[in-house]
Copies of this chain bind each other. A is one copy, B any other.
């Protein structure tokens, strides 16, 4: 960084413009605006504006049941595509459904039930055209782990089953409430990095458990896990890698192995020689289970807790999957509306012998690759599952459990995305730490601990960003009035006698003390440097407030103190580019008067110009007196 002689901008006087104090806003109005931005950032009611009541009613129905929106324009070409996609995902849903139900320690038939009613509900209410509804491995394992802590599924299968329905019910209620209360953003707090680590950890746990099953060591214990719920988000970055041409092979593999495995067992009677098989599956559609929900039970709190945790994780996967495909096909997904759809689907599911369902990434990707056009593919899948339930369940009698384990493992392997972890390391070390913490927490402690630790670390990062904001010295970019971070732009030159600091975060209670000390230290260091080199002594400190989004009363006090310290050290404090919020509060707290509105400039360049004018001419900035006169008026 050189130390260029400063060239007076010829346009100094004309250039310098006053920092505008935004007009005062009534509290209620700004509160309303803030609440709207917090809870309705997507402005979902925009289409309802200026419409007659009847039209609003139709729009309202279409809003909550999007099927009425797209069904009228449904064509035969769409049906053909949806039919192929629906059959394809049914071929995945049947074996995976049975496998995941086993993983959840629930009767295998529940996997089929859960692929029948929930997809129908989603087809009515969901706004994604690509989501394939079904059960997922992580939520299944989490159910097994959390309910299993309280009730042994083998000793008391009936109670366990009822608790699983109850947990599903509460998951649905929680999901729908998040949507109705517009609190969908809670799901955002599960960051990308958390989800990658969490899923890989859960997948590791599931694979280890299934390997035990395959190796016949003993009956596996489902101590922890959560995996596939979260597959979605991480997979977004990897869509490009998938090869649609070969997807049929992977899409059909599970069903093929089930068929081949079953035939093999049937022919060799291996079930009599120690190979475990699924056994008898009851024919017939979902029996009602509303009466099985237990609301008065010593285990109610367990059911609620399980419901909330599995519900939010299922939501994270479902929403992310829906969004990523919507982005791909350029249509819009309303997160909060989707939550209501997921919630309703699970509430209905819990009353019709289904356990937790969501939109798993793998199956939705197959649906997408098979060319689905609308949610009709879910209806086709449901019909296929219905036919299976009515007529084909005996065929699964001889399906060996080891095939189910293999299906689970092959699904899980895809979730351990070490490449994504490497990418995190390259781009953002802190995200990598979050990811590894989630992984280690899930693998070495439990799914809940992994989740809590990762979320806590992520939040800590946000707090640290605010608590320890960056401050930079700015320098002049040659032949311009632009001032930028001297570490980023190494060709900048400093302005003699002027220290320019940029504060890179809102000034809040959490960082007010830090900033006061840091600013004092910058000034000390600058004065030391100038003293040792014998240059012009420091006379102006310009704070670039452009990146200070907001300030609270602790921050105002801090600025007041900085101002006092500067006065005592005979330095002039100059503010550049304070934003609307900051200016408003500086004004309300009268700090603007103490600093002097003439010492606030629109850009750093203008502030430096004014400082230089005075440094070199000894006269005050011509604008200053003008604005002082203005202030007196």
Contacts and interface: CB of A to CB of B under 8 A. Distances in A.
A549 interface: yes
Contacts of A462: 462-463, 466, 508, 510
Given A462-B463, A549-B504, A488 B521 contact: no
Contacts of A426: 588-589
Contacts of A37: 468
A554 B192 contact: yes
B468 A550 contact: no
A327 B565 contact: yes
A554 to B, nearest CB: 4
Contacts of A484: 577, 602
A15 interface: yes
Contacts of A332: 520
A557 interface: yes
A465 interface: yes
Interface string A534-561: 0000000000001111101110110001
Nearest to A43: B521
Interface in A451-498: 458-459, 461-470, 472, 477, 479-480, 482, 484-485, 487-490
Contacts of A236: 557
Contacts of A42: 517, 521
A465 B466 contact: yes
Interface in A330-377: 330, 332, 335
Interface stretch (A243-251, A385-393, A428-436): A428-436
B509 A458 contact: yes
Nearest to A462: B466
A81 interface: no
Given A462-B508, A487-B580, A549-B505, A428 B15 contact: no
A508 B151 CA distance: 40
Copies of this polypeptide in the complex: 2
Contacts of A603: 482
A490 to B, nearest CB: 7
Contacts of A323: 513
Contacts of A427: 553, 556, 585, 588-589
A192 B468 contact: no
A228 interface: no
A438 interface: no
A464 B15 CA distance: 37
A514 B549 contact: no
Contact of A188 (B38, B189, B487, B512): B512
A155 interface: no
Contact of A513 (B185, B511, B513, B556): B185
Interface string A573-613: 00001011101010011000000000000110000000000
Contacts of A463: 459, 462-463
A38 B505 CA distance: 15
A81 B37 CA distance: 58
A262 B330 CA distance: 85
A568 interface: yes
A424 interface: yes
16 contacts: A15-B480, A17-B480, A17-B482, A38-B468, A188-B511, A188-B513, A193-B552, A327-B561, A330-B565, A335-B513, A423-B589, A427-B553, A428-B552, A465-B550, A482-B602, A504-B579
Given A20-B489, A327-B564, A484-B602, 6 more contacts: A14-B479, A22-B488, A188-B509, A189-B509, A465-B550, A547-B549
Interface of A: 14-15, 17, 20, 22, 27, 31, 34, 37-38, 41-43, 185, 188-194, 236-237, 323, 327, 330, 332, 335, 423-424, 426-431, 458-459, 461-470, 472, 477, 479-480, 482, 484-485, 487-490, 504-506, 508-514, 517-518, 520-521, 546-550, 552-554, 556-557, 561, 564-565, 568, 577, 579-581, 583, 585, 588-589, 602-603
A-B pairs, top 8 by smallest CB distance, nearest first, are A191-B509, A488-B580, A547-B547, A504-B549, A192-B554, A427-B589, A431-B553, A427-B588
